[in-house]
Homo-oligomer: A and B are copies of this chain.
Amino acid sequence: MASDTLSLVFGALADPTRRALLLRLAEGEATVAQLAAPFSMSQPAISKHLKVLECAGLVTRSQRGTARLSRLEAEPLRDATAWLARYQHFWQESHERLDELLAALQASHGAPALSPGTTRKTVQRTRNTTQRRGA
C-alpha cells in the first residue's frame, strides 16, 4: 500500500476487524487479550491488526504490568473526514448538516453506544456554494 498518511488511514479502515477494534477502543483502553476476545481469530492476528492501526496513527500503546494497553487516537480520522468532506455537496443535496444526517442514520439503523445524546435543531443559513457538475 502507499505510505502516505491518508492511504494508511483509509487502508487501516478497509478491514471490518480493524473497524471493530476501533469501535471497541472508543469505549476505552483495552489489552490485546480483551480486544481479541470477541473474535474467532488468533492472538497474533489481532496483534498484527493493532500494528496496522498503530502505523496509521489510529492507536497508541502503553504498558500496564505484563499487558499492553491500546488507546484510540482519533486525530487521523479527522483528516480522513476532512478529505471526504470535500465531496459533501455531491451527496448532501439538501445541504443538511453532517450531524443531522448522522442523527437520521442512527435513528434508522440503530444508534451505536458512541453517539451524542440528542438530535439538534436545524439551523437555517444561506449558502452560496457554486454547484459545478457535469463536463
A residues lining the B interface (CB < 8 Å): 1-2, 4, 6-8, 10-11, 13-16, 19, 22-23, 26-30, 72, 74-75, 77-78, 80-92, 97-99, 101-102, 105, 112, 114-118, 120-121, 123, 125, 127-130, 132-135
Q: A81-B84, A123-B125 are in contact. Are A90 and B74 (CB under 8 A)?
A: yes
Is the Cβ of A85 less than 8 Å from the Cβ of B99?
A: yes
B135 near A29 with CB under 8 A, answer: yes
A123 to B100, CA, bound (A): 14
Cα distance, A89 to B123, chains bound together (Å): 20
**Contacting residues, chain B, for A97 (C-beta < 8 A):** 97-99
**B82 close to A81 (CB less than 8 A):** no
> How far apart are A10's CB and chain B's nearest CB, in angstroms?
4
With CB as the reference atom, state the residue of chain B lying closest to A34: B135
Sample of 10 A–B contacts (CB below 8 Å): A7-B14, A10-B11, A14-B14, A27-B132, A77-B90, A78-B101, A86-B115, A89-B116, A98-B99, A116-B127
